[in-house]
Homo-oligomer: A and B are copies of this chain.
């Protein structure tokens, strides 16, 4: 089972696993799909370390790297990362800092250890360029994906000249069309039920519109896919592959504390919310006291991106590392799509891949038997 896009890329099964965990990248690629490492938040040094590990463990298989490459602006090359950090720090009101810190303290979440205080500024072109440069030194990295917006012209050229494919996420029709006009090789089209920065139109409605609007550009379907029947639904509508993020969060290989896994496993599909409270831009995550708190009238409003993300950087890393401390899960950052309601059991990436493909085949048999009846 191979789509045209899979053939172009050299992958057996049209399953794209978006993940921040290198082990998931390796396991999915080895099982016939392709792991795509989410590198937003990594420094170039961290990415180098992760890719060294992946290259050493993935065998002859290939993988991708996902990052956030903003459009460039006049004078941005004159600002050093250190200057950017200082600018952002100055721009965050003291009231916001105190409000966030108080919630962390009240919930009993320990402070980040002294000395381990590295700050990354992923949402800057300087950082993103360094990540792309690093990824392009790896022969087994065959695709670059931009998480937010159309990448700048020179990055598109750089990736394509290296013989690799470059694509980008799109949660709105007009974004997909802009990607096509910019010359990207594919689009990851994410419906509103998806985790992270999704739009408002659902997968069922958005995917076929996107596929028609940017044909013959390949579309990978994202948002709401966690099993083989949902995968068949996406392929039925004309997708060239499925892009899944949430499903791997409770895989055995994911780096996540038991308390965070429990939050995902016990949540229903009604327990997510689209909230600006972590990144400053609407993203889907588990609803909790943190997401409620930033919506109340008597509390500070979330700052625009990238300020809110910079403000909550500490909350994100602390609630992940100390997921089981005190009431941490009441304020933790647990990004996930509505598909969380069907994620109830932990299993290996290999088993998830096997289940996806088996259920896909069974569902296709069933549909074929209906169509030949009556």
* Nearest opposing residue in chain B for A2, CB measure: B374
A164 within 8 A of partner (CB)? no
- Flag if B173 contacts A268 (CB, 8 Å): yes
CB contacts under 8 Å to B, within A331-358, are 337-339, 341-342
A3 within 8 A of partner (CB)? yes
Q: In whole angstroms, how far apart are the Cα atoms of A342 and B1 in the complex?
A: 30
Q: 1/0 per residue A229-255: CB within 8 Å of B?
A: 110111111100000000000000000
Q: In whole angstroms, how far apart are the Cα atoms of A234 and B203 in the complex?
A: 12
- Flag if A230 contacts B202 (CB, 8 Å): no
A52 within 8 A of partner (CB)? no
Q: 1/0 per residue A178-198: CB within 8 Å of B?
A: 000000000000011100000
Q: Which of A34-42, A110-118, A219-227, A317-325 contacts B (4 or more CB under 8 A)?
A: A219-227
- Flag if B269 contacts A338 (CB, 8 Å): no
- Residues of chain B within 8 A (CB-CB) of A236 are 229, 232-233, 236, 363-364, 367
Q: How large is the interface on A (under 10, 10 to 19, 20 to 34, 35 or more residues)?
A: 35 or more
How many copies of the chain does the oligomer comprise?
Answer: 2
- Flag if A364 contacts B374 (CB, 8 Å): no
- Flag if A270 contacts B2 (CB, 8 Å): no
- Flag if A209 contacts B2 (CB, 8 Å): no
Q: How far is the CB of A147 from chain B (nearest CB, A)?
A: 21
Q: In whole angstroms, how far apart are the Cα atoms of A235 and B339 in the complex?
A: 19
Q: In whole angstroms, how far apart are the Cα atoms of A373 and B225 in the complex?
A: 22
Q: In whole angstroms, how far apart are the Cα atoms of A208 and B232 in the complex?
A: 12
- Flag if A269 contacts B206 (CB, 8 Å): yes
Q: In whole angstroms, how far apart are the Cα atoms of A227 and B235 in the complex?
A: 15
Beyond A202-B204, A208-B227, 20 additional pairs, beta carbon < 8 A: A1-B370, A1-B374, A2-B374, A12-B374, A193-B201, A202-B203, A202-B223, A204-B204, A205-B338, A205-B339, A208-B230, A209-B341, A229-B237, A233-B234, A235-B367, A235-B370, A236-B364, A236-B367, A361-B371, A364-B368
